[in-house]
Amino acid sequence: MQKKIIVVGGGIIGLSCAFYLHQEGHHVTILDQSAMNQGASYVNAGYLTPSHIVPLAAPGMATKGLKWMLDSSSPFYIQPRLNLDLLDWGMKFMRSCSQKHVNRSLKVIRDINLFSKELYQDLATLPTLDFHLEDRGLLMAFQTTAAEKEEEIVMRKAKKLGLAVEKISPKKVQELQPDVSMDIVGAYWYRCDAHSTPATFMQQLKSYLVKEGAKIHQNAKVTSLIKKGKTIQAVQTDQSVFSADEIVIATGAWTQKLLQPLGINLPLQAGKGYRLDETQPTGITLPAILMERKVAVTPMQGFTRFSGTMEIAGINHNIRQKRVDAIVHAASQYYPGLKLSQLTKEKVKCGLRPLSPDGLPFIGRHSNFFNLTIATGHAMMGWSLGPATGKLVAEVISNQKTSLDLTAFATERRYG
Ligand SMILES: Cc1cc2nc3c(=O)[nH]c(=O)nc-3n(C[C@H](O)[C@H](O)[C@H](O)COP(=O)(O)OP(=O)(O)OC[C@H]3O[C@@H](n4cnc5c(N)ncnc54)[C@H](O)[C@@H]3O)c2cc1C
């Protein structure tokens, strides 16, 4: 049955939901509070990451989190704040930092990532979508044996799960990427990963949807969801009211505040990250995570992106120069001779990752309402998981059997 659907949020998750809902024949309207040209879905590293099988909530992370609170220059930073939502999130995060949770999540994360990668590859064959997608894998590049050992544990798990990964020497890296040298001890090369250029894919999705008759309202902030019993009847924006049969909430880091008045507590924190785009040639052709500095490097269409840091400091887009400097410094540490230009530094941008406490996304309905579907909390994998999330949401709303089991992504799950 064709339905009238409102998707709130036009990031990669909202646009992917809109795309697959449209494919199912539904009438889709997207509402976004911004001009839809900024934020996490534009500044990300563009990685498709089957390699990221270990969730953020893992043993040892709770202790690290406490240490990070005291060091505002670490790649991860939690700004100490007296905030009830942060305390609740922190408790749930700590409960999730167990081996049991990691073991349970490995296969779940692999499967949804591989499913999404397949969908990306399918999308790349469509004549109506023209975007950058490259299968050069991802290097986890290390300068110390400590980082090498840390990644070796992940690599073994990945291999056991059938993911293609191999350890390579600096010489091999040099052969694969001849126009730049790296100061590293070695790297794990996750051949299973891929990369893309986010802004072009976002632009392509928007143009496709508009051409196909979907409605996109930019600068339309949803201020409330109007309910009657167990149904959301309409969506109130700062300009007008939109009625629909089904509502999809894909509002990223902003979701908790939007849903709280409906009696839904979706634990989420914003994890700010930065990106620097170098338009001068760098010689970098292989995506790499500079392990000790947690900086992601991506050769995109026409520029090289350096991104990183995870700053849990509320919803704001303030730029902390200390963090920008740390990314710039890491670039020259791993690629000797590479100096990011002043213009690149001045044009730094940031975005907010929607962090769930256990590192898994929320995908599916909530029992308070018959016609509300939630799709958020993708943390560091939202770009990778866009298409899979969109497809799963379209299946839920079209009352089809879902391609993957959604239990691990339940919106009302327990933590720990
Ligand atoms: C530096 C960095 C690097 C990253 N690298 C990767 C990577 O390599 N691979 C990967 O998979 N992921 C990566 N991520 C994570 C990924 O970018 C995010 O998980 C993903 O973009 C989240 O998408 P989203 O659509 O949920 O949220 P957003 O992109 O934040 O979109 C949410 C949208 O909702 C809108 N909105 C919010 N509230 C309202 C409201 N009340 N009314 C109307 N509209 C509203 C916002 O304006 C926004 O446009 C990275 C993130 C960062 C910051």
C-alpha of residue 307 to centroid of ligand 1, in Å: 14
Q: What's the CA gap between 382 and 390, in Å, rounded?
A: 11
Is 414 domain-assigned?
A: no
8 CB near ligand 1 (under 6 Å): yes
312 CB near ligand 1 (under 6 Å): no
193 CB near ligand 1 (under 6 Å): no
> What residue owns the CA closest to ligand 1's atom 53?
273
Give per-residue burial for 168-204: e unless 16+ CB within 10 Å, then b.
beeeebeeebeebbbebebbbbbebbbbbbbbbbbbb
Is 27 domain-assigned?
A: yes
> What residue owns the CA closest to ligand 1's atom 20?
382
Q: How far is CA 268 from CA 12, 48, 87, 172, 256, in A?
A: 18, 22, 11, 41, 6
Is 207 domain-assigned?
A: yes
Question: 363 pairs with which residues across the strands?
Answer: 375
Q: What's the CA gap between 168 and 170, in Å, rounded?
A: 7
CB contact at 8 A, 46 and 198: yes
Q: Which atom, in ligand 1's list, is nearest to the CA of 375?
A: 26
Q: Determine whether 150 is exposed, middle or buried from the number of CB atoms within 10 Å of its CB (0-12, 13-18, 19+).
A: middle
How far does the chain reach from its first CA to its final CA, in angstroms? 39
252 CB near ligand 1 (under 6 Å): yes
Is 344 domain-assigned?
A: yes
pLDDT of 312 reads: 93
32 CB near ligand 1 (under 6 Å): yes
11 CB near ligand 1 (under 6 Å): yes
CATH number at residue 304: 3.50.50.60
pLDDT of 71 reads: 72
Q: What's the CA gap between 252 and 222, in Å, rounded?
A: 13
Is 144 domain-assigned?
A: yes
pLDDT digits (tens, 9 = 90+) for 71-129: 766 778 888 888 999 999 999 999 999 999 999 999 999 999 999 999 999 999 999 99
Among 13, 33, 38, 44, the mutation site with the greatest number of ligand 1 atoms within 8 A of its Cβ is 44
Among 236, 238, 353, 392, the mutation site with the greatest number of ligand 1 atoms within 8 A of its Cβ is 353
Is 416 domain-assigned?
A: no
113 CB near ligand 1 (under 6 Å): no
Residues 6 or more apart from 276 whose CB is under 8 A from it?
A: 305, 306, 307, 324, 327, 328, 340, 344, 345, 347, 348
Is 415 domain-assigned?
A: no
CA nearest neighbour of 115 among 416, 381, 412, 327 = 381
C-alpha of residue 191 to centroid of ligand 1, in Å: 25
| Strand pairing class (269-278; 303-312) | antiparallel
C-alpha of residue 1 to centroid of ligand 1, in Å: 30
pLDDT digit string (tens) for the chain, length 416 residues: 899 999 999 999 999 999 999 999 999 999 999 999 999 999 999 999 999 999 988 998 878 777 776 676 677 888 888 899 999 999 999 999 999 999 999 999 999 999 999 999 999 999 999 999 999 999 999 999 999 999 999 999 999 999 999 999 999 999 999 999 999 999 999 999 999 999 999 999 999 999 999 999 999 999 999 999 999 999 999 999 999 999 999 999 999 999 999 999 999 999 999 999 999 999 999 999 999 999 999 999 999 999 999 999 999 999 999 889 999 999 999 999 899 999 999 999 999 999 999 999 999 999 999 999 999 999 999 999 999 999 999 999 999 999 999 999 999 999 98
Q: How far is CA 382 from CA 14, 82, 112, 352, 390, in A?
A: 11, 28, 11, 11, 11
Domain count, the chain: 1
Q: What's the CA gap between 154 and 159, in Å, rounded?
A: 9
184 CB near ligand 1 (under 6 Å): no
pLDDT of 24 reads: 97
Q: Which atom, in ligand 1's list, is nearest to the CA of 271?
A: 53
Q: What's the CA gap between 213 and 27, in Å, rounded?
A: 8
Q: Determine whether 233 is exposed, middle or buried from the number of CB atoms within 10 Å of its CB (0-12, 13-18, 19+).
A: middle
CB contact at 8 A, 216 and 36: yes
Is 16 domain-assigned?
A: yes
Domain that holds residue 55: 4-409
